[in-house]
Amino acid sequence: MSSFIYPLAHCIAGVDEVGRGPLVGAVVTAAVILDPEQPIQGLADSKKLTEKRRLALYDEIKEKALCWSLGRAEPEEIDQLNILHATMLAMQRAVAGLSVRPDMVLIDGNRCPALPMAAQSVVKGDSLVAEISAASILAKVTRDQEMAELDTLFPEYGFAKHKGYPTPYHLEKLALLGATPFHRRSFAPVRRVTDTTPVAGK
C-alpha cells in the first residue's frame, strides 16, 4: 500500500469521513478494523476508484473486515456545532460503534477527535493506510446512496449527480427553488437563499 510506518498496536482501526464540503445532507464517517487473515486487494482512496470498483470493495469490506461501523452528524448538528466539530462527533460515533475495541485509531487528515484510546492523524491517510482506505470507501458509498435517495425526493436539484457539492448547477437550483429541509443552513450559499426565499418541501 505505501511506505507508511504503522504504530505498534495490537488492533488498529482506520477512520475517514465523507461530506464536509457539500451543502446538503449528513457528514458520514466510517471506522474499520481489517482482518489480517482475510486481506482485501485494491484498497485505495475512494475518490480514486471507479464507482463499479468502489461498490465491489464496499461489499468485500463489509464481508471480510473484522468489524466496521458508520457514524454521522446530521445537518442540524452541523449547523449547531460547525462542520469541523460535527465531523469529530461523527468520527467518535463510528469508533464507538465498533464491536471490537481497537487500541489504536488512525484518522485521515490532520486532526483527531477525543477518543478513549490512542489515536494518530495521518495526512493523506486514505492513500497510505489500508484501514483508512476501507473506511473512506464505506463512508463514500453510504453517503452517495443517501444522495441518490434524496434525489428521488427532490429530483429537480440533481443530488445524484453532484452529491450535494456546490456545483454551478446546484447553486443555480438553490437560488431558483430555495433550500430543502436537508440543506445546511449555516453554509453561506444556503444562508443567502434562506434569508430571502421559502423552503422547498415545506
CA distances from 86 to 22, 33, 64, 77, 195 (A): 14, 23, 29, 6, 23
Q: Distance (Å, rounded) from C-alpha 117 to C-alpha 14?
A: 13
Residue among 158, 163, 165, 170 nearest 144 (CA): 163
Asked if residue 76 belongs to a known ligand binding site, the reply is no
Judge whether 17 is annotated as a binding position: yes
Question: Is 131 known as a binding-site position?
Answer: no
Residues at the annotated binding site?
16-17, 108
Residues contributing to the annotated binding site for a divalent metal cation: 16-17, 108
